[in-house]
Amino acid sequence: MKDISVPAATAEKSILKALRGETQATPPIWMMRQAGRYLPEYRATRAQAGDFLSLCYNSELAAEVTLQPIRRYGFDAAILFADILLIPDALDADLWFVTGEGPRLSTIEDMSGVTALKGAGDIHDHLAPIYETVRILRRELPEETTLIGFAGAPWTVATYMIAGRGTPDQGPAHKMREEAPEVFDALMARLTEATIEYLSMQIDAGAEVVKLFDSWAGSLKGEAFQRYALEPAKEIIAALKARHPETPIIAFPREAGDGYIGFANATGADCVALDNSVEASWAAAHVQKDGCVQGNLASSHMVTGGQALVNETRAIVDAFRGGPHIFNLGHGITPDADPENVQLMIDTVRST
Ligand code: CP3
């Protein structure tokens, strides 16, 4: 008999096959924000935890909400329930969430703000509950389900730390990178190091894949995109590959447009996640030619449903049929989505 070095159960997971470059008749599927407010069972557990951050740091309940969409829909992957802003929290920036509005943080204004942050190696005590969530999930997930860990990319996390909140145009971060580049670079360096440490610990705890969310990469153009989106991704991926060569990495430079072309090769990512501003046929020709892609149904279809959802889902599956593909939305599902539309999307993907 042939000697297989990878355990059979691991080798059979459809998400891992796609990430290793295999073209499959039916793409595996999961959904950004699949554990979220559109699900009544999520809202109940969140109420039990008290608030969103308490839910993130409660390992048992965070594992429970991660499992809810797996039980309900049988997605091929589970994504760790946490948030990209836990890194600033662990670095000692204050973080709180205002209901109905979003995150608030203490702001980084000058070099003293950066030097007051903790060292990248000192985040693990604070983040220990997250690693525990990962360990619980590896025990409790069905064996065919892949566990994805994640972190925010340095640019996206920096935009929140500099502004102290979400911003429509990331103006304060752009201002700092132009007017105080030494402060900005010091913050980016700290975040890059912390992200490597954090993802490496998630992998040690049992994450089988990690994803880097650069949600605001699209506001970086030209040389700035290379310097603050591409270069940090490359550095983080190189460090993780050196420590964990077998762990696939998904990069999500959201709204990068032409910046998606060559991104996987330039950074070493195993897969590029696509937002829905790019056409699937364009992405098949220009991005999937280099390897696995993930995406990219508009999340608005989860609100509106109907024949348009079915048609667009089929068009995306067809466009990416010639290469490795993981079906997903182009961004997170929204709280006003109808859980029945999620089932319709899954049924359509699996029957197309
Ligand atoms: O995808 C998943 O299900 C995994 C968990 C996850 C969350 N946030 C849970 C969450 C992941 C991967 C994230 C990433 C995240 N967080 C990003 C990058 C991805 C993206 O959506 O662009 C960003 C920018 C954040 C920061 C953040 N967290 C904001 C701006 C907000 C408020 C906006 C909102 O949707 O309410 C959050 C809160 C948040 N993170 C919620 C969830 C389920 C909603 C919190 C609640 O229950 O009230």
What confidence tier does 11 reach under pLDDT thresholds 50, 70, 90?
Answer: low
Closest C-alpha to ligand 1, atom 24: 215
Is the pLDDT assigned to residue 66 strictly greater than 80? yes
Average pLDDT, the chain: 96
Closest C-alpha to ligand 1, atom 20: 215
Q: Which of 83, 146, 250 to mutate to test the pocket of ligand 1 (most atoms within 8 A of CB)?
A: 83
Are 49 and 55 in contact by the 8 Å Cβ rule? The answer is yes
- Strand, helix or coil at 59? helix
Pocket of ligand 1 (CB under 6 A): 32-37, 46, 52, 79, 81-85, 102-103, 150, 152, 166, 213, 215, 332
Overall average pLDDT of the 203-225 stretch: 98
Q: Where are the domains of the chain?
A: 8-351
Query: With left for phi above 0 and alpha for psi between -120 and 50, is residue 226 left, alpha or beta?
Result: alpha
Burial 169-200 (b: 16+ CB within 10 A, else e): ebebbbebbeebeebbebbbebbbbbbbbbbb
Is the pLDDT assigned to residue 64 strictly greater than 70? yes
Summarize pLDDT for 12-31 with one digit per residue, the tens. 799 999 999 999 999 999 99
Record: fold of 8-351: TIM Barrel (3.20.20)
Cα–Cα distance for residue pair 287/298, rounded to 1 Å:
18
Summarize pLDDT for 296-344 with one digit per residue, the tens. 999 999 999 999 999 999 999 999 999 999 999 999 999 999 999 999 9
Q: Which residues are catalytic?
A: 33, 37, 46, 83, 160
Summarize pLDDT for 281-297 with one digit per residue, the tens. 999 999 999 999 999 99
Expressed in angstroms and rounded, the spacing between residue 33 Cα and the centre of ligand 1 is 7
Is the pLDDT assigned to residue 132 strictly greater than 50? yes
The pLDDT, as a whole number, for residue 12 is 79
Q: Which of 32, 33, 72, 95 to mutate to test the pocket of ligand 1 (most atoms within 8 A of CB)?
A: 33
Expressed in angstroms and rounded, the spacing between residue 281 Cα and the centre of ligand 1 is 29
